[in-house]
Amino acid sequence: MTSRGAESHPGISGSALRLSYHGDPVVRDASIALHSGHVTALVGPNGSGKSTLLRALARLHRPDSGEIRLEDGSSALALSAKEFARRVTLLAQSRPTPSGVSVKDVVSYGRHPYRSRWRNDDHDGPRAIDWAMEVTGVESMADRPVDELSGGERQRVWLAACLAQDTGVLLLDEPTTFLDLRYQVEILDLTRELADEHDVAVGVVLHDLNQAAAVADHMVLLDHGRVRASGAPVDVLTDEHLTHTYGIQIHVAADPVTGQLTARPIGRHSRRAPTV
């Protein structure tokens, strides 16, 4: 994933997954596959199971049933924690903010799976850290304490730590949260570049359907813990699928400028005449 050149990495898949909290199922019989060089977006209403399914792929939520495998056929649950962390990384919705720790030191946390007791044995670490900071735009903050940053700045720092981990599978749980418009676009562009130029398998949870349509090769629409639709954006983002899933009329059309699909909810006041 780093500037040292793309390598062939296996993706990851989950099949027939049932996931519960305290015995109550929240995801039922869900299957998903993240392939190298592709971006898969998980979309759906609040509580539909998107983040839970992503956490299961990251081994942070153990399935009641079903299996999780890497694309090379190996069981993800059978790997050691360190070996799994060299293959899969997750940018979670929230992370604790360490006090008094510099941005560069936080980004260097991503190199933990490659280190033993002696930090000097991670020869690729400095290059991976510098690259991750550069592409996320946090290099100018390298010496600043991370707890003094804004929420959006911290989000980019944690993403840099994930990229420094240099895995073949990158899981992003609402990565544009807290970011202003410019950095939302830049994070989505970077997500696309990681797949296209570095052969990374990316799974991303997004609330914004239009952002998902812009970045994804494949989409999974979740509805009350079940997969309602899965496939190319044009097959998933339909008036019928979205209106039924979200419980509000939604119209899907091609954007006249970009040609990308856009989803427009039709609320009670959507047809008000514009004021002059």
The structure tokens listed for 212 are: 């998902």
User: Beta strand 88-91 with 169-173: parallel, antiparallel or unpaired?
Assistant: parallel
Is residue 237 within 8 A of residue 218, CB to CB? The reply is no
Please give the chain's pLDDT, 276 residues, in tens.
Answer: 544 343 456 799 999 999 999 989 999 999 999 999 999 999 999 999 999 999 999 999 999 999 999 988 889 999 999 999 999 999 998 888 899 999 999 999 999 999 877 666 788 999 999 999 998 999 999 999 999 998 889 989 999 999 999 999 999 999 998 888 988 998 899 999 999 999 999 999 999 999 999 999 999 999 999 999 999 999 999 999 999 999 999 999 998 888 899 999 998 776 665 665
Distance CA 117, CA 110 (A): 15
Residue at token pair 């009641």 = 64
Decide: helix, strand or coil at residue 141.
helix
Is residue 187 within 8 A of residue 135, CB to CB? The reply is no
Per-residue model confidence (pLDDT) at position 247: 95
> Within 10 Å of residue 21's Cβ, how many Cβ atoms?
10
Per-residue model confidence (pLDDT) at position 3: 43
pTM for the model stands at: 0.90
Per-residue model confidence (pLDDT) at position 73: 87
Number of Cα atoms under 13 Å in the Cβ half of residue 185: 2
Q: What angle do CA 265, 271, 272 make, to 5 degrees?
A: 130
> Is the CATH number of domain 12-96+168-183+192-265 3.40.50.300?
yes
Complete DSSP assignment for 245-272: HHTS-EEEEE-TTT--EEEEE--TTTTP
Per-residue model confidence (pLDDT) at position 129: 96
Residues 6+ apart with CB under 8 A from 17: 27, 29, 30, 31, 32, 53, 56, 63, 65, 66, 68
Residues 6+ apart with CB under 8 A from 259: none
| Domain locations in the chain as residue ranges | 12-96+168-183+192-265
Per-residue model confidence (pLDDT) at position 8: 52
